[in-house]
Structure 1
Amino acid sequence: MDIEKAKEIINHVVSSTEQRWRQYETSWNEIDEVFIKRGYERGGFEAWKFAEELDKAGIFSISELGKILPSELHCKSYDRDFAGSLSKTFYENAKKGVYGENGRKFYHAVECFLKRDARKGQSFWEILWQMLQSCFFLERNFKGSFKSYLLEKFREIFNPAVNDLTKLEKAFLSLSYDEYSKLKKSILKERKLAGIGPNMFDFIFADIKESAFAKEIIKLDSSNIRFFKVTGIGKLFGFSINQDEEETKDKIRDFLKTLNLPYTVRQINEGVYTYCSRTEGERFGYCLSEDKCSSCAVRELCDRDFKALEERGVIKIFFDF
């Protein structure tokens, strides 16, 4: 593998999937909904499909979800024996209306999701619990708005000389990537958003079309990991899954910038995801297996090193994002 081959491979991957990844774009005005759909899209859980069931039930909002947990439960750590299936106490109580009408609706949304063709992943029940905890915090303290929480933290850290809400939002969306990273670290340090780590926080903002900093965001998902391992491109910048997550993303970002391709870092990141993900496997799904690899247009340029996926820790990390 060399730089020229890497450029050709990545350019093909991103350009051939562009029609699809352009559809991922979201708006700042939808950030509260995006928080639910993307903040918990990890471990194989298709949160966007669950969001559809919440919408059908009439509780697809931070505010409505934030009204479900009673005060005595919102700080309680996830307990599989209490909330690990529909037959456990929490969901039985929700079904009976112990947590109000929204609790009953939540139970039925979960029930409907489990019946449809959707992946719940390995940590499904814990993720749902964390979702309810975060929504409780935002409902009680910020009127059910992730946006309001962000803007308050932004004001605390950067003290922008604006009072008008529109100007405040514009100032936030104009943050540089380094400034955004500073804000992210401050928010996550407070640990108020249960289940939201650096990678998922980035994913919430990754496709916000109005933001300047989103262009440099990378979500380190299993598809990107597979791509850099199997193609051999990761060897060009010392890619390793055993590094600190943020350090790894910084390495990827710096490398992609050196290629001078006509795409932003985020566009390359989502292009690779589209090309190599199981979710997009019907049209793409490359780097998943040697059989699929045979139809890849740039297969002769890459290392096709599927043995790299057998390295210790690789399979685990696939399910952690």
Structure 2
Amino acid sequence: MNSLEKLGRPVNRFLQQIAESRFPDLKQPDGHSAFLLLQAGKREKAEAAIAKVLREKNWYALRNKKEFLFYDSIIKLMLLLGLPINPELLKSVKEAITNSFSKESLVRVTTSSGDLSLLEAICAIPNTTIYIWTEGNKEFQEIKLERTGAANIVENAKGKIHIAKDKVLALVEILSAVFDDEATILFGADDKLKNIRDLKKNLSDGIENLGQICCVQIQSPRTNGEEKTHSPQAFYDLVLESRNANPDAKIVVVLDFDGVVCDTDGALQGEGTMRLLNLLNVGAAKVE
């Protein structure tokens, strides 16, 4: 063992202690972490354990119950999976999460030109201005936007991307930039009904040509009382129908990223699970 390796052990123990003291309630029951399950040769159970952690999102670290903290979340994820905390593994887990995203992660719809991502389909509608409107950790959002190709699609369409801490305030900025003397019709989409309610409340008195502010959900659109959620296809059809009915109007479409433009949950629970499983499998083999 060289001197750097000797130095690394106490440093890693120190990092482990910091992580465990920061998130004291995250230890899994003995033998139930994905890493230990893999060491015991229980691959299917380990895969299910990883998928469960990602699906339940209790690995998210939030400041003030809202602001997503990227690196803290990776550390929480490592603790939940039973991984030791060290810089090399932290980097590998971060890469497993970020590399889960690709062009295949974009939500898709059917158009007259064939199967396209929702983002490409909206951008292809003439005289339509596109905005991606999202909140969260800037680094993580930019990685997802880049890896999925969404950033490039928006740039080519001369649209804009807003990564904000407060989505309502960000929307005010967007609207102040796009609404002018022209006839402008606004469409907006978010995957959370609460955000839709807040937006409708804030926008209903200020916009004359409010197309629709829709709750778009990738899985199982439903009607809840008077509130209806739309599939991505239904939302695209609404915008296209408005364009056909108002050929001279300027249409502004504001899309949430996670859950509308990108199937974030699907990417993490699918590709993310397998990447983490392979990473843990290598680690378990080394321990053996």
Q: Taking structure 2 as the reference length, what is the TM-score of the superposition?
A: 0.25
Q: Taking structure 1 as the reference length, what is the TM-score of the superposition?
A: 0.23
